[in-house]
């Protein structure tokens, strides 16, 4: 099962790959630990030094797809070891040299889960998240709601802006409008999702201690004391607007004052869909490594493998915080991502996933 619609009509709706990569190319615009390079990077991909020129990579990709058969290993070796900005340059060079898009060629040469993973990886990250959100809006179920929450909460404020722009370019509609009009959701969940996808949070590190104390009390009143609905005004306002450092301070104050973590309180009410989605938002906002470790594990355990979720989690975090995801995975499950991926996948699909996960 492909993890996204890879028909040619959908491919041609994707904005060009040479979009500005706000999420990856400007470390100053990112929270600590979310850059793809530099001393605070928690990215897991490795890039050769020196990096070959984009035209050389494009020519080698052409060699890998010409003639009888496809050299999947060569494609993984090139694209799996390049950053988003470098992949964009390769795509521009490839189209200039061969008068076809790189995504078109990958679509025609690959198949199955490998094709899904390679195409998601090769896309511009903002266009990728726009595509994932658009697909999630067409399917019913908590795991698809979680995709929207990931897109809204698990990355930088500038990245969410880029996703909304990419969504508008690809689908001639706004992400906010499509979430608000989605017939699969009803209030208060729909109202909460709209609040999340329209947010633009302060990206600095300043924290107001008095505000953290006050809002911790407001969350306790709403979630524990029940003096307002779970998705009432205070909860939506706090989670939908506060910066990630401010939320961390609020949740820490909640733990200090009440002896229990806010997400643990929500876990006790996990049978309630609203509480479960609220917990997903909390994790994506302040500890996304926990959320994506859980996504990877859930995609592997049980009968069969949820390749769609497994691919999404690994592809979307490889340039952000996969090293933290791997560390959290060991703490939560006493196993490694590598061992579980090896146990449930094979072939070249296994190869691209492990390339992006990196060594453990």
Residues at the binding site are: 67, 69, 109, 300, 304, 344-345
For residue 191, the number of C-alpha atoms closer than 13 Å in the C-beta half-sphere is: 10
Among candidate residues 356, 270, 294, 352, the one with its CA nearest the CA of residue 320: 356
Q: Which residues are annotated as a binding site for Ca(2+)?
A: 67, 69, 109, 300, 304, 344-345
Please state, as a whole number, how many other Cβ atoms lie within 10 Å of the Cβ of residue 162.
24
Residue 259: CB atoms within 10 Å: 7
**Biggest distance spanned by C-alpha atoms of the chain:** 68
Q: How far apart are CA 360 and CA 341, in angstroms?
A: 12
Distance CA 164, CA 160 (A): 6
Burial of 217 (0-12, 13-18, 19+ CB in 10 A): middle
DSSP string, 238-260: HHHHS-HHHHHHHHHHHHHHHSS
């Amino acid at each position: 099962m492909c993890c996204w619609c890879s028909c040619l009509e959908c491919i041609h709706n994707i904005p060009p790959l040479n979009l500005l990569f706000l999420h990856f190319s400007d470390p100053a615009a990112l929270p600590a630990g979310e850059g793809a390079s530099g001393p605070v990077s928690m990215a897991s991909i490795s890039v050769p030094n020196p990096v070959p020129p984009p035209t050389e990579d494009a020519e080698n990709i052409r060699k890998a797809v010409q003639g009888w058969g496809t050299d999947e290993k060569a494609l993984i070796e090139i694209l799996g070891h390049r950053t988003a900005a470098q992949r964009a340059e390769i795509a521009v060079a490839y189209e200039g040299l061969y008068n076809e898009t790189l995504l078109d060629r990958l679509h025609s040469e690959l198949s199955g889960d490998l094709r899904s993973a390679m195409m998601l990886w090769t896309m511009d990250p903002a266009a990728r998240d726009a595509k994932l959100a658009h697909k999630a809006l067409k399917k019913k179920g908590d795991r698809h709601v979680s995709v929207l929450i990931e897109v809204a909460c698990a990355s930088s404020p500038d990245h969410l802006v880029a996703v909304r722009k990419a969504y508008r370019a690809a689908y001639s509609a706004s992400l906010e409008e499509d979430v608000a009009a989605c017939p699969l959701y009803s209030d208060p969940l729909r109202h909460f999702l709209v609040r999340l996808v329209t947010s633009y949070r302060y990206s600095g590190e300043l924290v107001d201690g008095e505000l953290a104390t006050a809002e911790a009390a407001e969350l306790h009143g709403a979630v524990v004391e029940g003096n307002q609905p779970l998705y009432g005004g205070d909860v939506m306002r706090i989670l939908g607007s506060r910066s990630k450092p401010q939320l961390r301070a609020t949740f820490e104050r909640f733990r200090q004052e009440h002896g229990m973590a806010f997400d643990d309180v929500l876990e006790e009410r996990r049978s309630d869909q609203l509480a479960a989605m609220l917990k997903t938002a909390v994790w994506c906002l302040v500890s996304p490594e926990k959320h994506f470790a859980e996504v990877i594990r859930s995609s592997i355990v049980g009968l069969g493998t949820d390749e769609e979720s497994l691919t999404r989690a690994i592809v979307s975090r490889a340039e952000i915080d996969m090293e933290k995801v791997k560390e959290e995975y060991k703490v939560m499950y006493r196993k490694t991502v590598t061992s579980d991926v090896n146990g449930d996948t094979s072939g070249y699909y296994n190869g691209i996933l492990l390339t992006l996960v990196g060594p453990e």
